[in-house]
Amino acid sequence: MGGMADFPADYHDLLDAQFATLGTVEPDGTPQLSEIWFLHDDGEIRLSLNTARRKTQNLMARPQCSLMILDIENPFRYVEVRGHARIEPDDDHAFASKLHGKYNTDVSAYDQPGDKRVVVTIEPTRIRPVDMSG
């Protein structure tokens, strides 16, 4: 896979958006959706997730996922990134700190003692831009 190479140029502004919706697969096959923070980092879409959360456990068991980035200014326009989650430890919170730079908030502030952070990189299999605003 060529990383984000297939991300359409006229949708690149959405890579700087504040929020995205992450879809993961529950054990019974039901889609689970969460609003998340993300960072376009080194040409990849990356998330900082807490291993205690359901969405993270879903991805660890079933890496198939989908990410939707909505244009808040024009909700008829969005991009859907389908793919697989590559999960790596972030024990030193190096990536969480990078995310801190974008949002000016410590993402690990809500973690409980003993919780672990991971970096999740979305490896796209399909990138689907949509614009229904005519």
Instruction: Report the 10 Å Cβ neighbour count for 69.
Output: 24
The CATH architecture one would assign to domain 9-129 is Roll (2.30)
Average the pLDDT over 100-118 and give the result.
Answer: 92
The pLDDT of 30-55, averaged and rounded, is 96
Per-residue pLDDT tens for 53-107? Answer: 999 999 999 999 999 999 999 999 999 999 999 999 999 999 999 999 999 999 8
Task: Work out whether the CA dihedral 31, 76, 131, 134 comes out positive or negative.
Answer: positive
Going by the DSSP 8-state scheme, the letter that residue 33 receives in this structure is E
Poorest-confidence range of 29-33, 66-70, 103-107, 117-121?
Answer: 103-107
pLDDT at residue 6 in the model? 82
> 3 falls in which pLDDT band (50, 70, 90)?
low
Q: Which amino acid is at 91?
A: D
